[in-house]
Copies of this chain bind each other. A is one copy, B any other.
Amino acid sequence: MPKTHIEQHFSGSETVRDVVIGMSDGLTVPFALAAGLAGAVDSNFVVLVAGLAEVVAGSIAMGLGGYLAARTEADHYRAELLREEREVRELPQAETEEVRAVFRQYGLEGAALEQATEAVTRSPQVWVRFMMKEELGLEAPDPRRALRSALTIGGSYVAGGAIPLLPYLLPLSIEQSLLVSAGVTLLALALFGTFKARFTGLPWLKGAWQTVLVGGLAAGAAYGLARLVSGFGH
């Protein structure tokens, strides 16, 4: 999934990032599922129910899953922090050597190395923070973020999923609904890709093209497979 990597080079706020995470999948998967089903069953109603079920399931999996993962991350940070605090107290020699190793890696030696190491190890708080960042690559997570993040991701998934599904509510044949759904969703994906590109540093045209490609391929493959399978089933 895209979310894993987006995070690292995201320059927007965390809320924008959560909206992108939720909407990215919300626009793509319900769209592809509805397109796939529309190729196999002749019922707007079945497509709608399946789409709704998917949106509910996907938003809970992403929102609640994200909430629990953030809680685990906070627990993990606390556990590592306690461990470092204990190690600094109980094994100061080994921990001092670890500080020295970090500075040595940046080219420090001799008196400069000793003085820098001494400066960091002078305050237990600075020492522990140094080890958390340099040795473990961990920074303190925001405890209130978990719930807000879960709701933002889940809500964005629902908002994204509504776009491909609403056309199946119109008084149209299944083929017509599919065409309208594909049209508005591919347009929404292009706009969304442009928006996303602003935060990932991608040129906007490439951003638009990539989200349209992922959504289009997913929907096309789902449609093709569903048609193939329904050929056997009927």
Contact = CB atoms under 8 A, between A and B. Distances in A.
Interface of A: 1-9, 21-22, 24-25, 28-29, 31-33, 35-37, 40-41, 45-46, 48-50, 52-54, 56-58, 60-62, 64-66, 68-70, 72-73, 75-77, 79, 103, 106-109, 111-113, 115-116, 118-120, 122-123, 126, 130, 137-138, 153, 200-202, 210, 213-215, 217-219, 221-223, 225-226, 229-230, 233
B49 A37 contact: yes
B111 A115 contact: yes
A108 to B, nearest CB: 4
B56 A222 contact: yes
Nearest to A210: B68
Contacts of A52: 36, 222, 225-226, 229
Given A4-B4, A4-B7, A32-B61, 5 more contacts: A1-B61, A1-B66, A9-B72, A54-B54, A106-B119
Nearest to A76: B9
Given A1-B1, A226-B49, A126 B138 contact: no
A233 B29 CA distance: 23
Interface of A is mostly: helix
B53 A214 contact: no
A159 B151 CA distance: 29
A147 B181 CA distance: 30
B9 A138 contact: yes
Given A2-B62, A56-B221, A77 B9 contact: yes
A33 B69 CA distance: 22
Contact of A69 (B4, B29, B111, B201): B4
A136 to B, nearest CB: 9
Contacts of A3: 1, 3-4, 69
Contacts of A116: 103, 106, 108, 112, 115-116
28 contacts: A1-B1, A1-B25, A1-B66, A2-B61, A2-B68, A4-B66, A6-B69, A9-B76, A25-B65, A28-B57, A28-B65, A29-B54, A29-B57, A32-B56, A33-B57, A36-B56, A40-B49, A52-B229, A54-B54, A57-B218, A64-B218, A65-B214, A68-B214, A72-B202, A75-B202, A106-B120, A108-B120, A113-B119
